[in-house]
């Protein structure tokens, strides 16, 4: 298997990619084309079967299921509301993007580097979800669950710390606006279809000025991402 993979990845750049992938995965991938697609943003590969949007959709569902199972077992006496909030904290777009960057996903994700807006977006977290989808198709659910636990949840998602995390950044931003006499609004700036899914861009607007934007496949997540970016930009600590 290794020699066949070496043959497929005959060029120097592809050999480097394979080594980097192996370092992140912790195992030698089987269906290489899946992982290439998982690491390809639509800005460099527009065809739905070539970029990572379909795998991101699948990986999002698998990741959510694995985390739900993990929380269900970790907190046997907690109610649905607590479990739902904890899962939301773990699959938060910004959280996943931060994890992806720490894992080294930026080095191996293929995207249009001349588009400055992509560098500050959540494309690396999206690529991480797509990677989960690729592992699921390549190795099956049990292997994927084990990988998510060992490579994502245990090293990066500390449940005890997340229990104390304020997830509702919109509330924090509204509280700041009330204290400072600012007018805060959230407005949908753009709405378009991406691979059959509706992508929303929501802006956090303070006194008529857009200070941050968030993109997601539903308005609630997009507004939370915009709020989190605004909180960071305004350096709001409480």
Active site residue ranges: 60, 129
* Cα–Cα distance, 121 to 100 (Å, whole number): 12
* Cα–Cα distance, 117 to 149 (Å, whole number): 31
| DSSP code at position 214 | E
Q: Which residues on neighbouring strands pair with residue 209, listed in sequence order?
A: 206
* Cα–Cα distance, 154 to 139 (Å, whole number): 20
* Cα–Cα distance, 174 to 180 (Å, whole number): 10
Comparing CA positions, the residue from 123, 100, 103 lying closest to residue 112 is 123
End-to-end CA distance of the chain: 54
């Amino acid at each position: 298997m290794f020699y066949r993979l070496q043959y497929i990845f005959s060029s120097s750049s592809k050999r480097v990619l394979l080594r980097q992938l192996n370092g992140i995965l912790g195992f030698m991938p089987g269906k290489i084309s899946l992982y290439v697609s998982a690491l390809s943003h639509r800005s460099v590969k527009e065809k739905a079967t070539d970029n990572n949007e379909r795998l991101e959709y699948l990986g999002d569902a698998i990741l959510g299921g694995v985390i739900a199972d993990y929380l269900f077992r970790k907190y046997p006496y907690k109610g649905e509301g607590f479990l739902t909030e904890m899962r939301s904290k773990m699959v938060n777009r910004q959280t996943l993007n931060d994890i992806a960057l720490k894992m080294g996903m930026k080095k191996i994700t293929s995207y249009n580097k001349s588009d400055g807006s992509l560098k500050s977006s959540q494309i690396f977290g999206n690529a991480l979800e797509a990677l989960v989808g690729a592992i699921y198709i390549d190795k099956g659910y049990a292997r994927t669950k084990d990988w998510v636990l060992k490579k994502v949840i245990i090293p990066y998602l500390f449940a005890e710390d997340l229990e104390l995390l304020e997830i509702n950044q919109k509330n924090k931003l509204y509280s700041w606006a009330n204290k400072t006499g600012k007018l805060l609004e959230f407005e949908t700036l753009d709405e378009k279809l991406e691979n059959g899914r509706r992508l929303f861009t929501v802006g956090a607007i303070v006194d008529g000025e857009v200070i941050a934007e968030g993109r997601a496949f539903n308005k609630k997540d997009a507004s939370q991402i915009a709020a989190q970016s605004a909180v960071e930009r305004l350096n709001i600590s409480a």
